[in-house]
Amino acid sequence: MIIVLKPHTTDKQINHIIEKVKKLGLKPMVSKGIERTIIGVIGEEDILRVQPLEVFPGVEKVMPVLAPYKLVSREFKQENTIVDVSGIKIGAKNIIVMAGPCSIENHTMLLKIAKQVKKAGATILRGGAFKPRTSPYAFQGLGEKGLKILHDVSKEAGIPTVTELMDIRDIDLVERYSDMIQIGARNMQNFNLLKEVGLSKKPVMLKRGMMSTIEEWLMSAEYILASGNFNVVLCERGIRTFEKATRFTLDISAVPVVKKLSHLPIIVDPSHAVGKWGLVAPVSSASIASGADGLIVEVHTDPEEALSDGAQSLLPANFKILMTEVGKIAKAMGRSV
């Protein structure tokens, strides 16, 4: 349920309601908007049906949340959530582009790419230190060594970073060396991992599972918010269908659907969706036209020699062209990059 408070409700009144909710054995989640504050209540709703919270000072009304994802829903929060990644705001007017190689290979390569994508307009550097691969014989990433390279390059190039977390045991490392935690498609329903990043103070990017519905995806985000971390960005990266022309099928309709159902920002990963570098730019433009808050794009200085996903990686020169095209679409949508 949602407890909607009146404008100008005092902190004393809010704290009184929170304490009452806790005494009932329920979990209150406070969301302060521009005009008013609301309190989401997690737990057995039947308790609230016999508890007249409407009579408490400062309460305007008590409403049930019909969606199974309570905290993620627009019912809980009408205003768009803006996620701050070390000063970069995702979900605001500016389109945010994350760019970099699929895998961190060495310091020299990553620093070169970081400087080039930043110059082209990217504001967050991506790079994988732990790589989930279909084959156990494929390159699995540099691990902690890769994270240290990512951290050093971030400082040298002056750009925040995002990298994937695959194992609960590595969360301290990823928190220490990166600005944003990525939960990949294969781990979208790794609920223990979701709970753990929910306890983290780091922003989280949650990718949609390749065979997951939008509701399942939002329910996974609910795990993170229910654990206390509201700094979540959703990422559509394509789903598995019968179509073989592209690596996956980008569900472009997921962007406006999610915008309607949830207050969380949503970005698109065109690289993993199409799997072919020549299709990344047009799909990126379509993503921004559909209302996406940003992109995450793979860029490599030598795709032929890339240790992973070279076929879908853009050369820096082509990434620069993509940024120009995306900028035009963003402007037409009343936004900017």
41 and 118 fall within a common domain: no
229 and 262 fall within a common domain: yes
167 and 242 fall within a common domain: yes
Q: Are strands 27-32 and 37-42 parallel, antiparallel or unpaired?
A: antiparallel
> Residue ranges of the alpha helices (H) in 137-190?
144-157, 171-177
258 and 144 fall within a common domain: yes
37 and 152 fall within a common domain: no
CATH of the domain at 31: 3.30.70.1140
57 and 93 fall within a common domain: no
Q: Nearest to residue 148, comparing CAs of 173, 126, 182, 166?
A: 173
Domain count, the chain: 2
59 and 87 fall within a common domain: no
pLDDT in tens, the chain (337 residues): 888 898 888 999 999 999 988 988 888 888 877 777 888 888 776 776 667 778 888 998 888 888 889 899 998 888 999 999 999 999 999 999 999 999 999 999 999 999 999 999 999 999 999 876 667 766 667 889 999 999 999 999 999 999 999 999 999 999 999 999 999 999 999 999 999 999 999 999 999 999 999 999 999 999 999 999 999 999 999 999 999 999 999 999 999 999 999 999 999 999 999 999 999 999 999 999 999 999 999 999 999 988 888 899 999 999 999 999 999 999 999 999 9
Please give the residue range of the domain that contains residue 243.
Answer: 83-332
267 within 8 A of 237, measured Cβ to Cβ = no
54 and 151 fall within a common domain: no
Stated pTM of the model: 0.90
Whether 74 maps to a domain, the answer reads no
CATH of the domain at 316: 3.20.20.70
End residue of a domain, out of 63, 94, 114: 63
40 and 111 fall within a common domain: no
Q: Which two tokens stand for residue 37?
A: 């504050």
Cα–Cα distance measured from residue 71 to residue 77, given in angstroms and rounded to the nearest whole number: 8
98 and 27 fall within a common domain: no
11 and 158 fall within a common domain: no
Helix, strand or coil, per DSSP, at residue 177:
helix
DSSP notation for 7-67: TT--HHHHHHHHHHHHHTT-EEEEEE-SS-EEEEEES-THHHHSS-GGGSTTEEEEE---S
Cα–Cα distance measured from residue 32 to residue 76, given in angstroms and rounded to the nearest whole number: 11
End residue of a domain, out of 35, 63, 91: 63
Helix, strand or coil, per DSSP, at residue 316:
helix
40 and 171 fall within a common domain: no
247 within 8 A of 238, measured Cβ to Cβ = yes
